Structure 1
């Protein structure tokens, strides 16, 4: 048995596998593109490395692609066989595999709870902490993220190699609750301790975005470009934040350059890349910017994935891309699949039922909530879509636009009040309000 540099006790007898696995965990922490290669090296050195199989399974599930479910299932089977080969493995490994089994069934909340509870006495053990944080992020479970990160920092050794990374996660959890001063302070401390902590950099950029501190936000992202530009496709997301800040400043030419060169430099179909691109293009169009033919590749990808409801957050962004180009057949098919998803029993089925179904109709222009209780319920359930407050703001704005199209100024104002609890006002929301006022006056 070996305890790795991140406090995880594994049953491997291979020093080479242990070193490679530590590299994989570091890659996970820093969002580096070599994480997969490090996992392959781990399993080449020890084909029965339980934690490596478990991490491979979680990594495929977090990609939220329907076709990768089979790969995750194979990883779970490999992890279970590795446990048996290693005489039942360590307690740490058994917890990881049990949580992976729950996640593979679509029960991300249960998996995150199992990781948090299983490591309750060692809450700063980095791998299970980070996986739980990622799962809760996908569920929009800000409360769970903050509870876990608070326990972790209370048990944290400030001299440990993961201290900066855990503080970065804590900063993000604080930011999602609107505790901006604390998030800024802790996020900056995290980055000072661990300059490779892109999630900490990200947390601080969220603070500037949500408070409307555009100049400081641009300076922060440009000043840390050396760090986040080394990331995997997470660098596209950091560029998305930079684009949002310039958009709020009205520098539309700069936003288009950022979109072409840094947000969408590759026509990938990763749902996170799609979400960046769809939401930024939509915001630009609402600001009166001509985005040219930039919707085309997004809509093509969305059409190919029109039956995939693995993650409702992803499905709704795909829906918006097809709406943008008038792909009525694709829109109708995806709306029907979201309806069908709502009949299931896993976490995303509940998300579909509570918010995915009504939001899909709003995005598709099929329905607008007329009843105030329905509108309030939609806004209240929005966090369950997953992602961050900044990402979900796209849905809030789309909902406000749809409500405003009916001339419901009171409804738009209600959405604005709920939105202001976390985000400073910006030009785009004001334009939606003014458009509603003009429509009502014309009527």
Structure 2
């Protein structure tokens, strides 16, 4: 049985596949309750393989050690369901094989499995959305765009996921600098799927990259009815609003948005924490003291969760919070942990070896006044390996630029700014900081 999103299931129970399609829609539109829909599907059909596998993928995407353990359990249940169904569809096999790789820490290999399947079946939207998410987490923007460029022409327009697929394509286009095309495709995605938060997000990134602060704020306010209905992605949209406020020098609005919409319960998804930590750090770099209380609250969360996050990108944001709170010994311990994490054979271990460990050490040493002990230009050129977006990683580019400036390393500063200017012209926070530093 094939559902509206092109997912083919071995179990032919309409109520179960309808519930599964509801979960895919929630995932596509970044709405809450995707997991609840999956449980509804499994209540009807306990051997619905894709429901077990997608639940496992959700655990992988949360990037926590506990959620990864749960993903491994879901993987075993998916395998058992295949046995009980006396086989699986090609879609289900691809999903389970991808989950197998992802649980083992091979996120890019997981995305490759999904992409290979999509060459045979371009209408399987869920496989495309998951591949996009995995490549986003691992910094493979070229892989993101090459997939969605092909599928945007091969996927049937009648597929329920087509508009959301365009939203994914728009985001990748923005990340490779094709801004006009990204804006056009993102707007087209919203015309087809008005609740496409990712397409909406892609256009917000276009405005951020162009330094169109007023246009970006207006875009988000005009679509507040869409993004406030999202899952925790709504906090990230609020982060973007705060970023636009920072771009116009309205620091009071930044802190107001931070307190009301960003810094709520940060014990869950590491992305929520990253929003908060990076915003306070940006204020700090702009010469604005956000107050000891805010930093202390973040550092307490960091103390609880820094070592439970599986992505170096997330660990580095916990590190920022510890440094911002003045807990430098703990920050140094976390930097050592990131270094030790590079000894394994996972994708993230490779990230640690190539950029994460050295960046973590540089951030701690700079705060201790030890001088510049890192090749800032080299690190700047490798930051994309952390995953996330250019806008998110900009907090680290600014930190590297500051290190070079304070060390009197004019060559290093030029190198870092050259990397930044490939994706974003100098904006108000950076120009003001450079002016104060000269």
Counting matched residue pairs gives: 434
Higher mean Cα deviation, 7-16 or 225-234? 7-16
**Distance (Å, rounded) in 1 between the aligned partners of 2:59 and 2:360:** 26
SS class of match (1:7) = coil
Q: Match of 1:77?
A: 76
**Distance (Å, rounded) in 1 between the aligned partners of 2:8 and 2:400:** 47
Q: Match of 2:128?
A: 129
Q: Is 1:113 matched up with 2:116?
A: no
Q: Is the 8 A contact 2:30 2:233 kept in 1?
A: yes
Q: Is 1:404 matched up with 2:405?
A: yes
**Distance (Å, rounded) in 1 between the aligned partners of 2:266 and 2:355:** 29
**Distance (Å, rounded) in 2 between the aligned partners of 1:416 and 1:123:** 40
Q: Is the 8 A contact 1:208 1:216 kept in 2?
A: yes
**Distance (Å, rounded) in 2 between the aligned partners of 1:140 and 1:368:** 29
Shift of 1:381: 1.2
**Distance (Å, rounded) in 2 between the aligned partners of 1:326 and 1:308:** 21
Shift of 1:90: 0.8
**Distance (Å, rounded) in 1 between the aligned partners of 2:405 and 2:432:** 11
Where structure 2 has 5 or more consecutive residues not aligned to the other structure, the ranges are none
Q: Match of 1:357?
A: 357
Shift of 1:425: 1.1
Q: Match of 2:227?
A: 228
Q: Match of 2:296?
A: 296
Shift of 1:207: 0.2
Q: Is 1:387 matched up with 2:410?
A: no
Shift of 1:412: 1.4
Q: Match of 2:316?
A: 316
**Distance (Å, rounded) in 2 between the aligned partners of 1:132 and 1:418:** 27
Higher mean Cα deviation, 132-141 or 10-19? 10-19
Shift of 1:158: 2.4
Q: Is the 8 A contact 1:313 1:386 kept in 2?
A: yes
Shift of 1:294: 1.1
Shift of 1:368: 6.1
Once the two structures are superposed, residues 269-318 of structure 1 have per-residue CA deviations (whole angstroms, 9 ceiling, x without a partner) of: 42100110011111112223231221122110101123335110000000
**Distance (Å, rounded) in 1 between the aligned partners of 2:276 and 2:140:** 24
Q: Match of 2:194?
A: 195
**Distance (Å, rounded) in 2 between the aligned partners of 1:124 and 1:375:** 44
Once the two structures are superposed, residues 117-142 of structure 1 have per-residue CA deviations (whole angstroms, 9 ceiling, x without a partner) of: 12212234111000000000000110
Q: Is 1:255 matched up with 2:233?
A: no
Q: Is the 8 A contact 2:6 2:159 kept in 1?
A: no
CA-based RMSD: 1.4
**Distance (Å, rounded) in 2 between the aligned partners of 1:23 and 1:128:** 15
Higher mean Cα deviation, 329-338 or 96-105? 329-338
Q: Is 1:339 matched up with 2:339?
A: yes
**Distance (Å, rounded) in 2 between the aligned partners of 1:118 and 1:190:** 24
Q: Is the 8 A contact 2:377 2:412 kept in 1?
A: no
SS class of match (1:36) = helix
**Distance (Å, rounded) in 1 between the aligned partners of 2:134 and 2:218:** 30
SS class of match (1:42) = helix
Q: Match of 2:236?
A: 237
Alignment TM-score, normalising by the size of structure 2: 0.96
Q: Is the 8 A contact 1:124 1:156 kept in 2?
A: yes
**Distance (Å, rounded) in 2 between the aligned partners of 1:200 and 1:219:** 16
CA pair 56-404 structure 1, distance change in 2 beyond 3 A: same
Where structure 1 has 5 or more consecutive residues not aligned to the other structure, the ranges are 438-443
Once the two structures are superposed, residues 58-98 of structure 1 have per-residue CA deviations (whole angstroms, 9 ceiling, x without a partner) of: 10011011122210110000000001111121111011101
**Distance (Å, rounded) in 1 between the aligned partners of 2:405 and 2:203:** 32
Q: Match of 1:441?
A: none
Once the two structures are superposed, residues 135-157 of structure 1 have per-residue CA deviations (whole angstroms, 9 ceiling, x without a partner) of: 00000110000011011101022
SS class of match (1:345) = coil
SS class of match (2:209) = helix
**Distance (Å, rounded) in 2 between the aligned partners of 1:317 and 1:59:** 21
Once the two structures are superposed, residues 232-263 of structure 1 have per-residue CA deviations (whole angstroms, 9 ceiling, x without a partner) of: 11000011111101110011111111111111
**Distance (Å, rounded) in 2 between the aligned partners of 1:424 and 1:364:** 28
**Distance (Å, rounded) in 2 between the aligned partners of 1:369 and 1:386:** 25
**Distance (Å, rounded) in 2 between the aligned partners of 1:30 and 1:17:** 20
SS class of match (1:377) = helix
Q: Is the 8 A contact 1:21 1:52 kept in 2?
A: yes
CA pair 375-361 structure 1, distance change in 2 beyond 3 A: same
Q: Is 1:266 matched up with 2:245?
A: no
Q: Is the 8 A contact 2:217 2:241 kept in 1?
A: yes
Shift of 1:218: 0.6
